[in-house]
Structure formats: C-alpha cells, structure tokens
Amino acid sequence: MVRYGSKKQWMIGTLMLTAVACFMTSFTNFHDTGMLALMLLLQNLFVSILDIAVDAIAVEILSSDDVGFGNVCQVVGYKVGGVIGGKSAPLFSHYHLHLPVDHWN
C-alpha cells in the first residue's frame, strides 16, 4: 500500500485547504452560480478528506471499547456546529449581502 503522508499531515493540510476555500468563497459573486458551485464542491471535497483523516486518527488513538463513544462525540459536535452555523450565518449575512435579517426567515 502506498502512503502519501501521515494522517496528521492529511488532517492539517485539508483543514488549511478548507479554510482557504471558505475565504475564497467569501469573495465569490453569489450571482455567478457556476463559480459558487465550484467553491462549494471544493469545500465539500476538502471536508470529506478531512473527515476520513479524523476518523482514521480516532480509530488509531481510541481503544476498541471507546470507538463508539468517540463516534458519538464526533456526530454530536457536527450536529451542534451545523445548528450554530446554520442559524448564525443568516443573522450575520445581512452585513455582507445588505439584506434584512428577516429575509431568511
């Protein structure tokens, strides 16, 4: 099996690429659907690879008895982050898009 770096290198690298993609998306014209779709595709690609690296590290670090609990913690963190990000993004987007806050409700 050919290895292309350690799990930690993959995790840090894809996290940095995700941050760069998010930063670049903030400058994307939201009326250019092709570019927006490309940026979202890149973000999802990087986050998917990041998820694989994090899962591999978790399986390596945790004992077989703790893998289930570790998975629960990852899923709960993912869901809580989605709720917080999903609700706060529309609240703060009116600063960038100049839309009223109730536009998203």
Domain co-membership, 51 together with 80: no
Would you place residue 95 in the very low, low, confident or very high pLDDT band (cuts 50, 70, 90)? low
Domain co-membership, 1 together with 51: yes
User: Under a CB-based contact definition with an 8 Å cutoff, are residues 14 and 46 in contact?
Assistant: yes
pLDDT at position 76, please? 94
Domain co-membership, 51 together with 82: no
User: Under a CB-based contact definition with an 8 Å cutoff, are residues 90 and 79 in contact?
Assistant: no
Predicted TM-score (pTM) of this structure: 0.69
Domain co-membership, 24 together with 1: yes
Q: How many CB atoms lie within 10 A of CB 17?
A: 17
Domain residues for the domain of 96 are 63-105
pLDDT tens profile 31-88? 888 998 999 999 999 999 998 998 888 888 988 888 889 889 988 998 998 888 888 7
103 has a pLDDT exceeding 70: no
Domain co-membership, 68 together with 105: yes
pLDDT at position 32, please? 85
Domain co-membership, 87 together with 101: yes
